[in-house]
């Protein structure tokens, strides 16, 4: 693992036409950059570049001798500008509505250029991170060998936009904006069945239900480690995913992406609906042979991509084992 490193992107112009200088932080893990195939990991809404190691949010999936083996790959992770992870140097972004998911993909693309990276073995991301992965693939159709968007979509649906609108209203109007926004979001990340299994209407005391205590805990926890400006920025990125904007329809855009595309959806996801992924897969498969879909079966909804690691590893092993076999053939 490396400490945070930085790239300066001067005079970056957003889709909305606003220009600014950006300091983008990133970390690498595993094999030294330039010595092995590169896996770009794009974090979710409250995530960051700390993918593995102490407090790493994807330790169950990535690491030595794990599904994505750091003995064989270089893991690269940028922080989405404005996520607040690098408080000492990177700035929070007050004018968050000037940015879109495509802007973040453009920023990452410029970061890759500065690192002299011309190809990626894989780009993998969950939720908003997966949406940015779609945007990067549409922006650079020949950059990525394996595109792996998890629990996400190439677009922000009306349902998603509606909930992001509610989140933005809470963040701008509540007396306890971070806590309240997080509690609302947690009910979308899980399902009624998941909460029923976890709590079964049990009480912490005679007055407080355990589900209420759980929501309070998540609200308080995020409030201690996250800035409200960062939450506003990430929520804005979530609501602006759309690879078709100004480019044509989904099939026209996605069919130009040379990557092997691996949809990974969740049958109970209330945030990014599984039906949307299946519809896109079926339509795209008629035009592009190297498109695949895998479905996580879980009662836990959207958060299943952070819970059901056994299933996720099974889907991903076929992708990452291929590289291992190729390496062995080369060294024999």
CATH of the domain at 280: 3.40.50.1820
Residue 216: strand, helix, or coil? helix
Shared-domain flag, residues 142 and 169: no
Structural domain that includes position 95? 5-156+240-331
Kindly report the CATH number assigned to the domain that includes residue 168.
1.10.1740.110
Whether residues 186 and 244 share a domain: the answer is: no
Same domain, 120 and 25: yes
The burial of 269, by beta-carbon neighbours within 10 Å (0-12 exposed, 13-18 middle, 19 or more buried), is given as buried
Q: Which residue among 235, 260, 295 closes a domain?
A: 235
> Which parts of the chain are beta strand (E)?
5-13, 19-30, 38-42, 62-63, 68-69, 74-78, 120-126, 144-150, 260-266, 291-296
pLDDT at res. 331 = 35
Interatomic CA distance for residues 149 and 127, integer angstroms? 8
How far apart are alpha carbons 195 and 200 in whole angstroms?
7
Looking at the fold, whether 131 and 166 belong to one and the same domain comes out as no
**Same domain as 310, residue 196:** no
| pLDDT (0 to 100) of residue 52 | 96
Angle 127-19-228 from CA coordinates, rounded to 5°: 45
Do 101 and 240 touch, CB atoms closer than 8 A? yes
Burial class (CB in 10 A: 0-12, 13-18, 19+), 243: buried
pLDDT in tens, the chain (332 residues): 578 999 999 999 999 999 999 999 999 999 999 999 999 999 999 999 999 998 899 999 999 999 999 999 999 999 999 999 987 666 899 999 999 999 999 999 999 999 999 999 999 999 999 999 999 999 999 999 999 999 999 999 999 999 999 999 999 999 999 999 999 999 999 999 999 999 999 998 878 999 999 999 999 999 999 999 999 999 999 999 999 999 999 999 999 999 999 999 999 999 999 999 999 999 999 999 999 999 999 999 999 999 999 999 999 999 998 554 444 333 33
Give the model's pLDDT for residue 207: 87
Q: 122 and 142 share a domain?
A: yes
In this structure, the answer to whether residues 163 and 229 fall within a common structural domain is yes
Rounded distance between C-alpha atoms, residue 325 and residue 331, angstroms: 10
Domain boundary among 187, 203, 235: 235
**pLDDT for residue 45:** 96
Q: How many angstroms separate the CA atoms of 143 and 315, rounded?
A: 22
What was the pLDDT predicted at 327? 44
> Residue 1: what pLDDT?
58
Q: Are residues 57 and 144 in the same domain?
A: yes
Domain co-membership, 116 together with 257? yes
Q: Are residues 313 and 210 in the same domain?
A: no
**Number of folded domains that form the chain:** 2
The pLDDT, as a whole number, for residue 328 is 39
Q: Which of 187, 207, 235 is the last residue of a domain?
A: 235
In the sheet with 291-296, reading across from the earlier edge strand, the strands are 5-13, 19-30, 74-78, 38-42, 120-126, 144-150, 260-266, 291-296
| 248: three-class secondary structure by DSSP | coil
Beta carbons of 75 and 62 less than 8 angstroms apart: yes
Q: Are residues 204 and 289 in the same domain?
A: no
44 shares its domain with 126 = yes
């Amino acid at each position: 693992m490396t400490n945070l490193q930085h790239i300066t992107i001067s005079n970056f112009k957003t889709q909305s036409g606003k220009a600014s200088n950006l300091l983008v932080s990133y970390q690498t893990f595993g094999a030294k950059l330039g010595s092995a195939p590169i896996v770009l990991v794009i974090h979710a809404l409250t995530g960051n570049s700390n993918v593995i190691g102490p407090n790493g949010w994807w330790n169950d999936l990535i690491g030595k001798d794990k599904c994505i083996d750091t003995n064989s790959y270089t893991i690269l992770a940028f922080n989405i500008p404005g996520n607040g992870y690098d408080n000492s140097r990177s700035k929070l972004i007050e004018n968050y509505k000037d940015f879109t998911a495509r802007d973040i993909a453009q920023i990452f693309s410029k970061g890759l250029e500065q690192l002299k990276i011309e190809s990626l073995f894989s780009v993998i991301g969950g939720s908003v991170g997966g949406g940015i992965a779609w945007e990067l693939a549409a922006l650079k159709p020949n950059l990525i060998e394996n595109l792996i968007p998890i629990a996400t979509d190439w677009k922000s649906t009306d349902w998603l936009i509606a909930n992001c609108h509610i989140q933005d209203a809470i963040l701008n109007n509540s007396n306890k904006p971070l806590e309240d926004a997080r509690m609302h979001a947690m009910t979308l990340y899980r399902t009624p069945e998941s909460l029923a299994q976890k709590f079964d209407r049990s009480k912490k005391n005679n007055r407080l239900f355990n589900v209420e205590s759980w929501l309070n805990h998540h609200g308080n926890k995020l409030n201690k480690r996250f800035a409200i400006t960062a939450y506003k920025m990430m929520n804005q990125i979530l609501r602006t995913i759309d690879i078709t904007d100004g480019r044509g329809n989904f099939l026209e855009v996605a069919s130009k992406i040379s990557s092997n595309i691996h949809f990974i959806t969740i049958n109970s996801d209330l945030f990014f609906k599984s039906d949307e992924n299946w519809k896109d897969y079926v339509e795209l498969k008629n035009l592009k042979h190297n498109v695949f879909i895998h479905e996580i079966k879980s009662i836990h909804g959207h958060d299943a991509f952070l819970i059901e690691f056994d299933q996720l590893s099974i889907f991903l092993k076929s992708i990452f084992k291929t590289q291992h076999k190729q390496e062995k053939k080369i060294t024999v």
